[in-house]
Structure 1
Amino acid sequence: MTTLSRRNLLRVGAGALPALALGARPALAAPLLPGVTVSGTAPSSLAGFDDVMKTFVKERGISSAQLAITKYGKLVLARGYTYSDGSRYVPQTTPTSLFRIASLSKHITATAIMRLVQDGRLSLSAPVTTLLGLSATADPRLAQVTVLRLLQHLGGWDRDASGDQLWQDHAISAALDVPLPISQDDIVRYATGRPLDFDPGSKMAYSNYGYLLLGRIVEKVSGMDYESYVRQTLLAPAGVTRMRIGRSLRSEALPGEVSYASQYTRKTVLDDSGTVVPYQYGGFNVPNHDANGGWVASAVDLVRFARVFDAAGTVLNSTSISRMFAKPEIGVSGDGWWYGAGWYVRQVTGHLNTWHAGSMPGTYTYLARLQNGFTYAALFNRREETGTLDFDVLSPQMNAVKVTSWPTTDLFAKYL
């Protein structure tokens, strides 16, 4: 998983970003963009966003992508994009095809935590050691790690210093002398036995492990497994029915899930065979990433759920929403943004812009809630790996699109 690049953090104040979807047989290409086919609905007044997406996927050879846009809570664009160079068949992606969303899972987990707080079942000041029965023997500072500090990446783990525990399966297996695949409990035992990298609450360091712990807190407090609690308490009331925790192997893909692309291979983390596999299929254990990056969704699902944060309703009340976007104890960055609970946040005139990116082998995703009621999600079936075509250029390209008249028709009923 990855955070936004510094360039994007500087740009998001006014910004937007795209999304894609999976592809179809490479006939029927638009005359100026051979190889790109589309599905779904894009009104003519929003053709600028459509053009940006089609060019973006063609230039980078991205076979599957999606874009969904809402304006003041109404779904006004739902699009799937497919690119093929003609050398092979690429199955068509629709607006409801499913993608791994990587770190866009974090605001889902943060919402689950806030709902438990809202229901009086959890305190943001509760220490993780108390909640999960963790020992602070290896580092007494662990007792200072609270739920709120986990939400805001202030817990004391710095992956640039000691590595990302969610991507160290082989090292953890060897250190604990346990077989692959390792479990989430193994990851927690490994991390708990090592010192923190900094004093909790003293700085922000993006931590997938912190969100793994939040998922375990959801389970401990709710008495349900993490996925079931989220689907029952958050997603169903919001009208989201397709989202699931993903699986690792191509053979385990959900109905309608796209295929993922990566040029890299790795030894499998799913057993001790030493088999070399495509990195995106067995090079990491997707279910272990559940709360920090394991969800599978469509772009339509993500913008539908994003409406939870636009107004108090059946999922969160106004106090909970405010807490999710509140400034952390370390204050605002020098670039004017801060990390709330599962969202990056920036103050613009009369509005808080909130956004997040996600990245893992075979996946790049982006979700933004911007001023003037504009929300969008963009999903891709691979991330930037090599070359000079920077994924970050998509945000300014989307921002440059001028819309003179926004559609008023709501497409949500079409894409249930």
Structure 2
Amino acid sequence: MRETVDDNAEAFLEAMVASEHFSGVVLVTSRERTVHKRAYGPSGKVQPNRTDRRLHVGSLTKQFTAAAIMQLADADAIKLDDPINALLPETYRTRIWSEISVRHLLTHTSGIPDYAVIRDYYDVTDGWAFSATIDGMIREAMGRPLNFAPGARFQYSNIGFTLLGKIIEHRSGRRYADYLKQELLAPLGMADSEIHDEDSRSRPDDAPGLRWDDSACSHVADDVVSLPVTPADGGLVTTADDFARWVGVYRRMALPGLTKPALERMLQPVVPIDAARWPGRDLRGPACYAFGVMRSGDLIMHEGSIVGFRSYFIYSLDDDLLIAVFSNNTANDVFRIAAGLFGLYDHA
């Protein structure tokens, strides 16, 4: 739980605490040296946050799902241009998806409408959707027309990564959470990380999901209705230190079970992002989506957003600079915070 404090980062983050009640954990590393690591705000009604708390990081999970897909491709269990109908369980195959490939899912260019809109079959607790709810979401999507022809443009679609999770399970013969633990998390020493699914049990000291309530003038449990999250599109629970271990994959360009060319292909920019959805992400050049991550020049980044939590990370391949912001206050603008910290240390 040791903290490291840099005066520049601390002054900026104290301003974020004052202006938007920032709560969570921040990690800044430069060339494998910890520059700033500190926790802010509450973790529950009484306890303060700590740097070793596990937090949900939402869509930061997508890069792990993409890496798992690339491992299967390296093992010739799938091909990126295979139609998903050839790889999904038979029950999830539909003529509407006949032209959609794995590559389309990885880059949000499939045209599949994001998540389901009919809610009469939903069984969602704290934003989490499992089992029958996921089945219902997929089946509803199977009956809806595509928003555009596959490959025509970018449109962020969480359910595309839900489907990638189903492909991982079907082709590997393992539960998604088990595959990630055995093939990614454990080999990297990420002992405090796991995928939240129906078999998960929270630890007593896991950070709770909060939001800021102006009327109460305090952080309260987040009860704002939002779209549900599935394990493969947003289920990762991790710590700042564990996530830094993952970023070491990009630093070394090496991951167990994955060749360097496959990892490089995963990080190759493919399609311009929706700038209206993500303004200002072109920190070092036009922002594009790769496989499960966003790229801007040498930068690798992504955001995460689920009930009670927000997250954003920026990693510079050229400078070996990592900014990771994990918040347990949904009112926080984590990109603003991460980009502000990046500006303090960006000497490019």
The interval holding the TM-score normalised by the smaller chain is 0.7 to 0.9
Residue in 1 aligned with 2:195?
245
2:243 aligns to what SS in structure 1? helix
User: Are the structure 2 counterparts of residues 192 and 57 from structure 1 closer, same or farther at C-alpha, using a change threshold of 3 Å?
Assistant: same
Native 8 Å contact 1:258 1:381 kept in 2:
yes
Contact 1:129 1:135 in 2 (8 A): yes
Q: What residue is the counterpart of 1:149 in the other structure?
A: 104
> Paired residue for 2:7?
47
How far does the alpha carbon of each residue in 1:346-379 deviate from its partner, in whole angstroms, 9 at most, with x for none? 22xxxx2110011122111011111311012110
Counterpart mapping for 1:333-348 below 5 A: 336-347=286-297
TM-score normalised according to structure 2 size: 0.82
Q: Distance in 2 between matches of 1:317 and 1:219?
A: 21
Q: Does residue 112 in structure 1 map to residue 61 in structure 2?
A: no
Q: Which residue of 2 aligns with 1:211?
A: 161
| 1:303 equivalent in alignment to 2:244 | yes
Equivalent residue in structure 2 for 1:374, among 297, 301, 321? 321
Counterpart in the other structure of 1:254: 203
The answer for unaligned runs of 5 or more in structure 1 is: 1-38, 175-179, 265-277, 405-416
In structure 2, the partner of 1:93 is 49
Aligned partners of 1:105, 1:170: CA distance in 2, in Å?
25
Rate the CA distance shift 1:332–1:181 in 2: closer, same or farther, 3 A.
Answer: closer
CA contact (8 A) 1:154 1:200 kept: yes
Write the deviation string for residues 271-321 of structure 1: whole angstroms up to 9, x where unpaired.
xxxxxxx655997655xx101011111122112111112224342321112
| TM-score, normalised with respect to structure 1 | 0.69
Secondary structure at the counterpart of residue 237 of structure 1? coil
1:353 corresponding residue in structure 2 = 299
Q: Percent identity of the aligned residues?
A: 25
Q: Secondary structure at the match of 1:365?
A: strand
SS in 1 for 2:154: coil
Unmatched segments (≥5 aa) in structure 2: 124-129, 214-220, 276-281
Task: Give the root-mean-square deviation of aligned CA atoms.
Answer: 3.0
**3-state DSSP class of the match of 1:345?**
strand
CA contact (8 A) 1:66 1:380 kept: yes
Superposition deviation, residue 171 in structure 1 = 4.3
The answer to whether the Cα contact below 8 Å between 1:82 and 1:90 also exists between their aligned partners in 2 is: no
Tell me, yes or no, if structure 1 residue 202 matches structure 2 residue 152. Answer: yes
Please say if 1:122 is aligned against 2:81: no
Match in the other structure for 1:231: 181
Cα distance in 1 between the residues matched to 2:137 and 2:34: 40
Q: Which amino acid aligns with 2:204?
A: P
Q: Structure 2 residue aligned with 1:321, among 240, 243, 263? A: 263
Query: Corresponding residue for 1:24?
Result: none
User: Following the alignment from structure 1 to structure 2, what is the Cα–Cα distance between the partners of residues 359 and 82?
Assistant: 18
Q: Are residues 402 and 108 of structure 1, via their aligned partners in 2, closer, same or farther at CA, if it must alter by over 3 Å?
A: closer
1:102-157 Cα distance to aligned partner (Å, 9 max, x none): 111111111111111122222111111111134334x2xx1111111100001112
The amino acid that maps onto 1:207 is: S
Task: Answer yes or no: is the 8 Å Cα contact 1:358–1:366 preserved in 2.
Answer: yes
Pair 1:253–1:192, CA change in 2 (3 A): same
Rg (Cα) greater in structure: 1
Residues matched between the structures, number? 320
The structure-2 alpha-carbon separation of the partners of 1:204 and 1:324, relative to structure 1 and needing over 3 Å to count, comes to same
Q: Does the C-alpha gap of structure 1 residues 208 and 403 become closer, same or farther in structure 2, counting only changes over 3 Å?
A: closer
